Chain A
Amino acid sequence: MKPAISIIRSSAGASPVAIALGLAVLAGLFLFPQFVQSPYALHIMILIFLSVIMGEAWNVIGGYTGQYSVGHAAYFGAGAYTTMILLQYKQISPWYGALAGIAVSLVVSLIIGSICFRLRGPYFVLASIAVAEIMRLSAMNLKDLTNGAEGILITEIPHLKFGDTLITDFLTKVPFYYIGLVIAIVTILVTWLMQNSKLGYYFQAIREDQDAAHSLGISLSLFKSSALAISAVFTSLAGSFYAIYIGFIDPPTVLALDISVQIVLICIIGGIGTIWGPVVGALVLVPLSEALRSNMIAQGIFKIGLASEESGVGIFLKEHLSHAHALIYGILVVVVILFMPDGVLGWAKKLAAKKGKE
């Protein structure tokens, strides 16, 4: 048997090279909009930030604490709806709206925790889905509050001012880029702090064995609720951000089961229970599904001559492939679960270790 270094400590001490590289990437990210003006490129980056935030947030409860919530749309939707309702009907700025969204999500997480944490394994998964579905159906039905199935469309985003100086009027994607980037960095930072503290140890102990953790003085209800609360806060922020960025929400886009599943997928594909897993997951998932959505895959098929654009197959692909971007999610999940149980990141690490030995 060979000694292996603990998952916890391996990421705590970083080498100087890694730190330098990290700083370079960070600087690059902050300068990116200075060099790239393409709204589409910025859009993709913003979607990646969103996925990173959601993935890291789920990772706290799902990856570290081992409680597979498949109902995280509840918090995403709570953040999105609170922000939008306050903005559209009460003219309250989204900055406060996002905070209110966090408050609502915290309350929701406490309720969900008190119901679901008494259940284990598959029953927990089912209960988390049921609660999120109740919220989705409520949003459909409480028409006075949520405008039901028609959803809420923002007419105007208030300008961000510091005193009297206008900082941004949100007319381009650039301000969204920076907001997304900052939230994503904060989320990663919080996860890192959590991992290197008592909380991180307790969360992982609960994941590995609840009864053993309980016997070692860990209050299961307290620490599971804390993990869920942290997770809910950032998922809610992502929801608020998404709502303001896109400018439109309805129950299927922010509260559906698909959203919950997508959030889990980001982590599963990247690698759960690690800081960089969700980042890798986002970097894999977002470009892939965008490529499908924008028909790049169909174009690629035509280019390499697998099918001609005018043939029946070609027309079919062009018309339908863009609607089936979720197909790639499905295939990815199956492949990852069957062949890379530790996600792309874990798989790459193993591959690198193998190469290193040769």
Chain B
Amino acid sequence: MLVFMQSLISGILIGGVYALIGIGLTIIFGVMRVINFAHGDILMIGMYMTYSLFTFFGIDPFVSIVITIPLMFMFGAFLQKVFINRMQGALPQNQILLTIGLGMIMSNTMMLAFTSDYKILSTDYSSSSIKLAGISISTPLAISFLITAAITAMLYWFLLKTDTGQAIRATAQDREAAQLMGINVKWMSILAFGMGSALAGTAGALISPTYYIFPQIGSTFTLKAFVITVLGGMGSIVGATIGGVIIGIAESVSAVYISSGWKDVVVFVLFLLVLLFKPAGLMGKSRM
């Protein structure tokens, strides 16, 4: 039982970060109907940004998100404005290939800059943990979960309560109608891609104390991001939040009870089952 609780809790903790990744992807998909295959690579850039800030300036990874978020937002806005925007309304396959290409450019540029060696960002609390009722919780995971929760809460508030947030949701629901209502759809797309990238970058920053950092790590997270968003229903933010936590739990529970080598297989099988039997996702409609 203790083992189960232990894996459940670490699943929820990592699930929080997954949720952040998923929400980013789902906002981009919702507003632009573009599936961003470079999502994991954007996360990877966030990781390297955090790593550099830590190594060169000694800024703590959790503090550095204050810098990472705006920078990644601008990076995303740039990607949207220069590349993705030209593909609005193109074949979905071509949009996918464009983002795959952008992802390759990102990972290979990082490889040129940092080589393909594994980097480790080790803080003095990297391997420390908190004991709670017999269950040990990794300190960096716990901190990142708290930050994730705060960011998710702010995001919900922004989307539900502010005018801009509502405009984004309106665009996601019906682009044409939103345009007719006088919403600046182009600006919303830039905003959405910026936010999506900022969220992925933040997730990258948050996991950098616990993961190896290398240029090719992106594709793993891209795939995970898809599983999460499809699970929750493409375009649904609540769905992505829940999907992230489910995948986190599924991974850590199957790592304990099956084997860590097979945990990703479990995730992909789950993914296929959802695609086949509940294509609109566990949350039903594909809406934000």
Q: Which residues from chain A sit less than 8 Å from chain B, CB to CB?
A: 68, 70, 115, 118-119, 121-123, 125-127, 129-131, 133-134, 137-138, 140-141, 257, 261, 264, 268, 320-321, 323-324, 326-327, 329-334, 337-338, 341
Contacts and interface: CB of A to CB of B under 8 A. Distances in A.
B101 A141 contact: no
Contact of B96 (A68, A115, A133): A68
A330 B261 contact: no
B108 interface: yes
A contact patch SS:
helix
B165 interface: no
Contact of A119 (B87, B111, B279): B279
A131 B104 contact: no
Interface stretch (B183-191, B244-252, B264-272): B264-272
Contacts of B226: 126, 129
Contact of B265 (A118, A119, A122, A134): A134
A327 B83 contact: no
Interface of B: 35, 83, 86-87, 90, 92-94, 96-98, 100-109, 111-112, 115-116, 219, 223, 226-227, 230, 259, 261-262, 264-265, 268-269, 271-272, 275-276, 279
Contact of B98 (A119, A261, A338): A338
Contacts of B104: 261, 326-327, 329-330, 333
24 contacts: A70-B96, A122-B92, A125-B92, A125-B93, A126-B226, A127-B275, A130-B227, A130-B271, A130-B272, A131-B268, A133-B223, A133-B264, A137-B262, A137-B268, A140-B261, A257-B219, A257-B223, A268-B97, A320-B115, A321-B112, A324-B111, A327-B108, A334-B105, A337-B97
Contacts of B115: 320, 323
A125 B144 CA distance: 32
Nearest to B275: A127
B111 to A, nearest CB: 5
Contacts of A341: 90, 94
A68 B93 contact: yes
A122 B35 contact: yes
Most buried by B among A134, A140, A329: A134
Contact of A330 (B103, B227, B271): B103
Nearest to B33: A122
Nearest to A252: B216
A192 B163 CA distance: 57
A338 B272 contact: no
A69 B223 CA distance: 15
Contacts of A140: 261
Given A261-B100, A321-B112, A338-B83, A327 B105 contact: yes
Contacts of B93: 68, 121, 125
Contacts of A129: 223, 226
A333 B98 contact: yes
A326 B106 CA distance: 11
A257 B106 CA distance: 16
Contacts of A323: 111-112, 115-116
Contacts of A268: 97
B231 to A, nearest CB: 11
9 tightest CB-CB pairs across the interface, nearest first? A330-B104, A333-B101, A327-B108, A330-B105, A334-B101, A68-B93, A141-B261, A324-B108, A130-B268
Contacts of B227: 130
A273 to B, nearest CB: 12
A119 B108 CA distance: 32
